Structure 1
Amino acid sequence: MANDIKKVVLAYSGGLDTSIILKWLKETYQCEVVTFTADLGQGEELEPARKKAEMFGIKDIYIEDLREEFVSDFVFPMFRANAMYEGLYLLGTSIARPLIAKRLVEIAHETGADAISHGATGKGNDQVRFELTANALDPSIKVIAPWREWDLRSRTKLLEYAERHQIPIAKDKRGEAPFSVDANLLHTSSEGRVLEDPAMEAPDYVFQRTTDPEKAPDSPEYVKIGFEKGDAVSVNGVRLSPAALLEKLNELGGKHGVGRLDLVENRFVGMKSRGVYETPGGTVLWHAHRGIESITLDRGAAHLKDEIMPKYAELIYNGFWYSPEREMLQALIDKSQEFVAGEVTVKLYKGSANVVARTSPYSLYSEDLVTFEEGAVAYDHKDAEGFIRLNGLRLKTWAARNKKARGV
């Protein structure tokens, strides 16, 4: 097994699990290990990961700030589709995995590595996302998934392995972690342990980015978001880079308790899983984007987008970001965003984010058409009679057939 692997690029956080994996790879495969740590806005200091990798004797250590690429090339394209998995989940973890896996493959090419490795367990979706991305970008590259190979199946065995190999263990890692957390600039995802019983409400301490809505400010706050071609470009009149904009919306949304979600979802691997998510900025952005689309998209285009959205979201959730069907849908979605531009005002108040105003130079909304007063645009009310008669024709035919069949 070890002979055909000379060098591996490991997705490395510097935490206990990936540190154990790092040692295990060197021991099991007798190979050189390259570490890659991505800054996706998880809010953690990443230099300790470098020091820990150096302690293990790693020569090639990659620590990269990918926040702007993450938002501009992954989050924003997804939000153009208004994507939600199972009608609720804004796909914060799902959309981060293809970027991490892409860089793993690229670094493997840069360093001449034979394989990449990740720390996803055999029960989760992330293993699928990492490996399908690798398949799409380099079908020849090998993927090592330690959780599917080793016999370290319990926390006790992991700790014993760490102590045996003198891998530093933080004091809070010696006990049972209350829950696991994955975080990036778009969201935090918490699951496991105290969250495993879906009949029990999540404890307050699970939430890290959002104020308890009951304790949020008693006065609402209004935020104005500017859009160009479907992407947010400004907050309250100030133009910001994609990552800075999402960070600002996180601050505003989190302050007002926006973006909490407690969800039992259907994993791609076949089981149900309970997760607690916080997506403050993303929730504000989702509502704002729907708001600007409401006045700039034609009805047919808007309804078609709504029809394909569940499929698009499912592709991302299941790990098919790099797939021909996702790229086909993206082309359709991006075409729809040509005139999705203007400003939307969102009211933030005690956990809610509601669109209260929207304006666009490309608006399809006509006050002349909808007014109850005499409009300047020619709209003959009598035209509705023929419209209704034609649309009702099939219903009349259907009703007459049913009446005849019943002998009435």
Structure 2
Amino acid sequence: MAEQKEKVVLAYSGGLDTSCCIKWLQVENNLDVIAVVGDVGQEHEGLEKVKQKALKSGALECLVVDMRDTFANEYLAKALAANAMYENKYPLVSALSRPLISKHLVDAAHKFGAKYVAHGCTGKGNDQVRFEASITMLDPSIEILAPVREWDLHTRPEEIDWALEHGIEVPVTKASPYSIDDNLWGRAIECGTLEDPWAEPPADIYTMTADPVEAPDQPEYVELTFARGLPYMINGNQKSFLGVVYALNEIAGKHGYGRIDMIENRLVGVKSRECYEVPGGLALIQAHKALEDLVLEREVLHYKLGMEQAWATAVYNGQWFSPLKEAIDSFMVSTQRCLSGTVKLKFYKGSCTVVGRKSAYSLYDYALATYDKDDAFDHTAAKGFIQLQTLSTKTWAANRRQEGAPAELFDAEKQAGPLTKGKYEGVTSIGVKAVIEEAEAVLA
């Protein structure tokens, strides 16, 4: 009677790492592998081909799950409500798909009675945290395996050689060693020449966006209509949210909009150079913000900015299923109740500009805003407002002047040396001229 092996559910993409993981889990851990492939709108040659690759590599079973509608309606919709931009730059491409994939991994583990769940993340990336945190929050009893953290294949060329030795088909070569993760929200590209932060990204890394120089010479206008914070119409044509994302990816990408080249602060403490393409997502966030500017009350809008950063940071750090993130979601939902209206975007040569917005819930009052004869603003109220607004700082200024303290801590024009001490002990003042001279000396 054949030995009954333990089972492991593997998050499988068909890429280099997970292609090696199937064989590794069999050889090194003596496990039967059930692969789970999630369709979140990524580029692929066909998920059936990916499934056959997994089975050919020795997987006991391979589940292909179409997650696109759920991804759009339950994940991207929440990201849009939060205008999610980690470090105010990155619209969370990979971080948004990981919790959804994790949910299906846990479901598969329950279905097949698997003791383990595995992923193909490296030991210094963010995704390992996102997968493991999500899996743990969904079912703390599941044990997690991370082959890429354990094996002795230290470089991608070594990994490629190992794969070829074991008859594993891989989608990369040593000449094109980029690591790419993508979904319907966008693409994340790293490795290869991108690891030099001074090197301009090669043209071949981009697939969703045209080179802005070669984009159409005529601008294109797009009207997005929102209801309760979600777009449901483009230029008068009604679409599902998923359909809106696909359509805007095509329009924005055609005009070369949506590229990001940034230095990113990873959760594990490493600065990394990352390139992204998020044409539809960035355009949607820009339009969504413009509608919020028109509709949301000032204090709500100002407070929401901090909540947006907290939401983006939580999701970036793998806390999708955490109580904090779910609580922030409740706040976001309340801000979207009356967020209905239309925003007009102009795409041209790599840019996306908001050129119009309208809403029945607009708080913009022409009579209060105009400087024309229809002005209804009470100008006489301004004097008393300013007196009360500045009362605290006026009291502070009078006290400091009476005591002879300087009004400004730093007075660049009076600085002489590279580092001179200010009037008060413990205060270091740096003059502009001195800083330039010091920098020039270092560079020389």
Q: TM-score, normalised by structure 1?
A: 0.94
**Is this contact kept in 1: 2:17–2:121, CA < 8 A?**
no
Q: Which residue of 2 aligns with 1:184?
A: 183
Structure 1 match to 2:208:
209
The superposition leaves residues 342-378 of structure 1 with CA deviations (integer Å, 9 ceiling, x where unpaired) of 100001111111111111111111111112234385x
Counterpart CA distance in 2 for 1:27 and 1:181 is 27
Q: Which residue of 2 aligns with 1:67?
A: 68
- 1:219: which partner in 2? 218
Contact 1:68 1:241 in 2 (8 A): no
Contact 1:14 1:48 in 2 (8 A): no
The equivalent residue for 1:383 is: 381
Distance (Å, rounded) in 1 between the aligned partners of 2:15 and 2:177: 16
How far the C-alpha of 1:4 sits from its partner, in A, is 11
Show the counterpart of 1:121. Answer: 122
Residues 127-166 of structure 1 mapped to structure 2, 5 A cutoff: 127-166=128-167
Per the TM alignment, residue 81 of structure 1 is displaced from its structure 2 partner at its CA by 1.1
Deviation per CA, 1:16-64, whole angstroms, max 9, x where unpaired? 3212211111222222211100111112121111112232453432101
Corresponding position of 1:28: 28
Aligned residue for 2:209, secondary structure, equals coil
Amino acid at match of 2:49: P
Per the alignment, residue 281 of structure 1 pairs with 280
Q: Which residue in 1 is equivalent to 2:439?
A: none
Which runs of 5 or more residues in structure 2 are unaligned?
A: 407-444
Structure 1 residue matching 2:314: 3-state secondary structure? helix
Aligned residues: 403
Which moves more between the two structures, 306-315 or 141-150?
Answer: 306-315
Percent identity at matched positions?
A: 43
What residue is the counterpart of 1:236 in the other structure?
A: 235
> Which of 392, 395, 405 is residue 393 of structure 2 equivalent to?
395
Instruction: Give the letter for the 1:400 counterpart.
Output: A
Return 5+ residue gaps in structure 1 as ranges: none
Q: Output one character per residue of 1:365-399: Cα deviation in whole Å (capped at 9) or x when no partner.
A: 1111112234385x322111111111121122111
- Kept in 2: contact 1:82–1:289 (CA 8 A): yes
C-alpha displacement at 1:5, in angstroms?
A: 7.3
| Greater radius of gyration (CA) | 2
Deviation at 1:89, TM superposition (A): 0.8
Q: How does 1:7-406 map to 2 (within 5 A)?
A: 7-44=7-44, 45-169=46-170, 173=173, 175-375=174-374, 377=376, 379-406=377-404
> How many angstroms apart in 2 are the aligned matches of 1:208 and 1:96?
20
Instruction: Tell me the distance in 2 between the aligned counterparts of 1:287 and 1:403.
Output: 46
Separation in structure 1 between the aligned mates of residue 122 and residue 64 of structure 2, nearest angstrom: 23
TM-score (norm 2): 0.87
**1:404 Cα deviation (Å)?**
1.2
2:429 maps to which residue?
Answer: none
Is 2:232–2:241's contact at 8 Å kept on the other side of the alignment? Answer: yes
Q: CA deviation at 1:218?
A: 1.2
CA contact (8 A) 1:179 1:191 kept: yes
SS at match of 2:353: strand
Deviations 1:270-321 (A, max 9, x none): 1111011111001110110011111110000000011222222111111111
Amino acid at match of 1:382: T
Moved more, 180-189 or 155-164: 155-164
> Which range moves more in the overlay, 124-133 or 94-103?
94-103
CA contact (8 A) 1:5 1:115 kept: no
Q: Displacement of 1:153 after TM fit?
A: 2.2
Cα deviations by residue, 1:107-133 (Å, 9 ceiling, x for unpaired): 111221111111111111110110000
Structure 1 pair 163/43, CA: closer, same or farther in 2 (3 Å)? closer
Q: Which amino acid aligns with 1:380?
A: D
Aligned to 2:409: none
Counterpart AA for 1:98: P
- 1:247 aligns to what SS in structure 2? helix
2:22–2:58 CA contact under 8 A, matched in 1: no
* In structure 1, distance between residues paired with 2:63 and 2:6: 18
Q: 1:396 to 1:376 in 2, by over 3 A?
A: closer
Higher relative contact order (CA 8 A, sep 6+): 1
3-state secondary structure, aligned to 1:9: strand
Distance 2:42 2:405 in 1: 69
